[in-house]
Amino acid sequence: MAQINQVDNRWKISGDIEMANANALLEASHSLVLADNTLIDFSHVTEIDTAAISLILEWQRRAIVEKKQLRFVNLPSNLISLTHLYGVADIVK
């Protein structure tokens, strides 16, 4: 089961990010504060699929609307590979 919580300006994700739970993670993130320079931390993510890319894009859209900066940290190597495959690697740098 995936979870997302906030500690100061860091969103911590744990568990798997997959199609089955991506929408629940997105919904849960709506209640989190998007501060300036929010860090989205993937250090406790265990498994991912392409749904993780969708979440990243949704969070980036929100940041643009709210005029905030995001940084993605501790991305698993397979997620980095997917960002290159889908041509969105520049978004997570």
What would the DSSP string read from start to end of 5-56? Answer: EEETTEEEEEEEE-HHHHHHHHHHHTTS---TTEEEEEEEEEEE-THHHHHH
In tens digits, the chain (93 residues) has pLDDT values of: 899 999 999 999 999 999 999 999 999 999 999 999 999 999 999 999 999 999 999 999 999 999 999 999 999 999 999 999 999 999 887
Beta strands 38-48 and 10-17: pairing type? parallel
Between CA 24 and CA 68 the distance in angstroms is 23
- List domains and CATH numbers for the chain: 3-92 (3.30.750.24)
- Are 39 and 71 in contact by the 8 Å Cβ rule? The answer is yes
pTM of whole model > 0.85?
yes
